[in-house]
């Protein structure tokens, strides 16, 4: 599975590509009123992936 560090890099690269820098957290970005429908969709999918990755990393930390 992808790491949170890698997801952070992907998120910032996406923000650069979309001319949305500086970015806040992905969930805070959803409150912007200047996003396209595609950008909103991307952010919603990204948030789901981030949350899943965060849970997995947390579970692996406590297993050790």
- What stretch of H or E contains 41? helix 37-63
C-beta neighbour count of 46 within 10 angstroms: 17
Sequence ranges of the domains in the chain: 4-63
Burial class, 26, CB count within 10 angstroms (exposed 0-12 / middle 13-18 / buried 19+):
buried
Can you give the pLDDT at residue 28? 98
Q: Is-cis flag, bond preceding 23, omega within 30?
A: no
- pLDDT at residue 64 tops 80: no
Residues 6+ apart with CB under 8 A from 49: 2, 7
9-57: pLDDT as tens digits: 999 999 999 999 999 999 999 999 999 999 999 999 999 999 999 999 9
């Amino acid at each position: 599975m992808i790491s949170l560090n890698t997801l952070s890099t992907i998120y910032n690269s996406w923000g650069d590509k979309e001319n949305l820098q500086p970015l806040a957290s992905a969930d805070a970005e959803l409150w912007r009123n200047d996003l396209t429908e595609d950008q909103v969709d991307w952010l919603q999918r990204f948030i789901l992936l981030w949350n899943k990755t965060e849970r997995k990393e947390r579970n692996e930390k406590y297993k050790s």
